[in-house]
């Protein structure tokens, strides 16, 4: 019996998604649990699986469409129904269909059934004899529309030739350079009225960059974090000479080149193992203490800031940690992070040392209870064994949720972290 396949709620609070790719075509047989489409949420690319064995009768939202969660994205049924009246089947399910245009034609955007949100199609529907499908990100498509430009002639630099934001920005800049400036007709001069103490409004040019869905989500979550989570901060300066020496030795023998950040992640796991009371998050009902150490890593990807989670770091080797972080960076830049990669963990590490930042305070990533901000490693002079000496230090700032972790407990955790970093043999045993 024919049934509609709705857009699933793959992320809590998500109101809409973008259909990134269809993995099957009308007439194909799909099996329960097999992926049939790829959808794009605010932070990740997620595969949508079929719930039952069926035949894909019609695609109702083409690749590139922005669709509300719960709206129908496809019509499924039996093989016998594939040769029947698809429009009648859709009408019986409360969805009015537009004119059929080959097997890939989609239903009309307007649903006949109240309360069922309709998919918003932003790309032309496929049909026999149609031009090759254009791969373009939703943000790039919106930027082109607002600039009044066409995607024709733009070469995408993304995977598979996908047109991305940077490609559109370059095209807009090129179009602006090629357009001769039109002299404006002088307006009649009017006397200006300037109020004392009030600065004149700026008349300089500006460019408005539309918010991406990811940027909106980041803004919402961080605003919520600062509003709802009582932050407090612990600062500590760590000597890194022993850690850097260990890294040099390991990289001489290991096929996987380790970064200082990899060792910091492993040190967080040691500190959480030493002080397990800090491996918690706050919930309305109780403190939730975790049995494994799952650490989020802040990655400034081409798509925006994401925080994928490394699982079971306490049982992971340094090479395994390093390999997984590199994989996350690649997946973040190409938009292939899964939603499950972004969920969980009790602490995040955010390292801005590579940008020369000495110290900063980071905002906790809810529902986690802490985030460790790492500054640049720099040579400084300290007293060692009663004598001044040049040592390498870095400033660490731990932002803590005071509901879940008290000051004394956080201080114990920072002491455990410092010991792990300044006696780094613990990171490999």
By annotation, the residues acting in catalysis are 402
Which contacts (CB < 8 Å, 24+ apart) does range 111-114 have? 111/71, 111/72
Closest CA to 401 of 280, 266, 254: 280
In 34-186, DSSP assigns E strands to 35-40, 45-49, 54-59, 66-68, 72-77
Distance CA 47, CA 339 (A): 10
Which neighbouring-strand residues pair with 370?
A: 347, 400
- Residue 363 carries which DSSP code? P
For residue 400, how many other CB atoms are within 10 A of its CB?
A: 27
- Residue 401 carries which DSSP code? E
Cβ proximity of 76 and 28 under 8 Å: no
150 Cβ partners below 8 Å, 6+ apart? 144
Closest CA to 155 of 143, 167, 166: 167
Which neighbouring-strand residues pair with 407?
A: none
Cβ proximity of 351 and 362 under 8 Å: no
Helix (H, G, I), strand (E, B) or coil at 272: helix
Which neighbouring-strand residues pair with 111?
A: 95
């Amino acid at each position: 019996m024919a049934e509609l396949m709705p857009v699933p709620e793959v992320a809590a609070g998500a109101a809409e998604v973008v259909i990134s790719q269809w993995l099957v075509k009308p007439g194909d047989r799909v099996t329960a649990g097999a992926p049939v489409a790829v959808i794009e949420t605010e932070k990740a690319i997620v595969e949508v699986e079929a719930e039952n064995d069926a035949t894909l009768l019609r695609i109702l939202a083409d690749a590139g469409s922005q669709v509300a969660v719960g709206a129908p994205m496809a019509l499924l049924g039996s093989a016998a129904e594939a040769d029947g009246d698809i429009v009648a089947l859709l009408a019986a399910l409360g969805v009015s269909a537009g004119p059929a245009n080959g097997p890939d034609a989609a239903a009309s955007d307007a649903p006949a059934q109240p309360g069922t949100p309709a998919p918003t199609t932003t790309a032309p529907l496929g049909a026999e004899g149609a031009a090759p499908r254009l791969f373009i990100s939703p943000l790039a498509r919106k930027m082109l529309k607002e600039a009044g430009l066409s995607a024709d002639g733009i070469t995408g630099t993304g995977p598979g030739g996908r047109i991305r934001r940077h490609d559109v920005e370059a095209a807009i800049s090129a179009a602006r350079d090629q357009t001769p400036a039109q002299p404006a007709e002088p307006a009649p001069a009017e006397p200006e009225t300037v109020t004392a103490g009030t600065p004149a409004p700026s008349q300089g040019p500006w460019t408005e960059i539309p918010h991406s869905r990811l940027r909106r989500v980041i803004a919402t979550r961080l605003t919520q974090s600062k509003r709802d989570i009582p932050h407090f901060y612990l600062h500590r300066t760590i000597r890194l000479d022993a850690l850097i020496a260990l890294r040099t030795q390991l990289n001489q023998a290991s096929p996987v080149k380790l970064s200082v950040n990899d060792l910091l992640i492993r040190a967080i796991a040691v500190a959480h193992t030493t002080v397990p009371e800090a491996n918690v998050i706050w919930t309305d009902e109780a403190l939730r203490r975790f049995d494994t150490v799952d650490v989020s890593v802040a990655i400034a990807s081409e798509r925006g800031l994401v925080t994928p989670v490394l699982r079971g770091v306490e049982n992971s080797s340094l090479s395994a940690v390093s390999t997984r972080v590199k994989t996350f960076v690649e997946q973040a830049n190409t938009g292939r992070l899964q939603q499950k990669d972004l969920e969980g963990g009790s602490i995040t590490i955010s390292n801005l040392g590579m940008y020369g930042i000495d110290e900063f305070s980071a905002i906790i990533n809810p529902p986690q209870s802490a985030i460790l901000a790492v500054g640049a490693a720099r040579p400084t002079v300290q007293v060692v064994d009663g004598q001044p000496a040049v040592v390498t230090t870095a400033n660490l700032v731990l932002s803590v949720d005071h509901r879940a972790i008290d000051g004394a407990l956080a201080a114990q955790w920072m002491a455990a972290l410092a010991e792990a970093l300044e006696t780094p043999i613990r990171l490999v045993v």
